[in-house]
Structure 1
Amino acid sequence: MPAITFPSVPHWVPAPVTQKDIDWADLAIIDFSKAKTPEGLAEQAIVARDAMHKQGFFYVINHGLDQAQVDRMFDIATVPFDQVGEDEKQRFVMNSKATGEYYGYKPQQYWHIANGVKDRIENYACKFSLVFISHPAALQPLLPEIQPFIEFTHRNVLNEVERLLSIGLELPENTLPDMHPYDETNHSFFRFMAYNPRPEEDEAKSGGVWLKGHADHTSLSALWSQPVTALQIKDHDGNWRYIKHIDNALVINCGDTTEYISGGYYKSAIHRVIKPPEDQNGYRRVGIFYFHYTSDDTLLKPLLESPVLQREGLTKVIDGPAPTQEEWRKARTASYGVTDLKKSPTEQGIEYEILNGVQVKHYS
Structure 2
Amino acid sequence: MTAAARAVRSPLVIILCGCAIAALTFGPRSAAGLLLTPISESHGWGRDVFAMSFAIQNLLWGVGQPFAGAIADRFGAVRVLMLGGLLYAAGLALMPFSSDPLGMHLSAGVLIGFGLSGASFSLVIGAFGKLLPAEWRTLGFGFGTAAGSFGQFIFTPFASALVTAYGWQTTVMIFAALMLLVVPLSLALAAPKAAPGDGPKVVDQTIREAIAEAARTPSYWLLVVGFFTCGFHLAFITAHLPPYLIDHGVSPTIGGWTLALIGLFNIAGSLSSGVLAGRMPKRVLLAAIYFARGVLIVGFITLPVTPATSLAFGAGIGLLWLSTIPPTSGIVATLFGTRYLTMLYGFVFFSHQVGSFFGVWLGGLLYERTGSYDVVWWIAIALSVMSGLINLPIREVPVARLAPAT
Provide TM-score, normalisation by structure 2. Answer: 0.27
The higher-RCO structure (CA 8 Å, 6+ apart) is: 2
Provide TM-score, normalisation by structure 1. Answer: 0.30
More strand by share: 1
